[in-house]
Amino acid sequence: MSEHAPMTVDSVRELLEAAGAEVMARSGRSEHYSAPREFSFEVRGVFPNGLSLHVVARQFTYRDPWEASGRVNDLVDASLLREGSYSPLPKGYPFFQGVDEETGLDEEQLREVVECVRGVNPKLYELQKLTGDL
Contact indicator for 73, 7 with CB cutoff of 8 Å: yes
* % pLDDT > 90, the chain: 40
* Average pLDDT value over all residues in the chain: 81
Domains in the chain, number: 1
Closest to 134 in 3D by CA, of 95, 97, 83: 97
Considering the domain boundaries, does residue 116 fall inside one? Answer: yes
Q: Is residue 119 over pLDDT 80? A: yes
Q: Which residues contact 21 (CB under 8 A, 6 or more apart)?
A: 45, 46, 47, 53, 118
pLDDT surpassing 50 at residue 47 = yes
Does residue 3 belong to any structural domain of this protein? no
Mean pLDDT of 102-128: 91
The whole-number average pLDDT for the span 117-130 is: 89
Task: Note whether residue 1 is domain-resident.
Answer: no
Instruction: Tell me whether residue 4 is in a domain.
Output: no
* Position 2 in a domain: no
46 part of a folded domain: yes
23 bridge partner residues: 45
Domain contains 63? yes
User: Per the domain annotation, does 124 fall within a domain?
Assistant: yes
pTM over 0.75: yes
Range of the domain at 66: 9-131
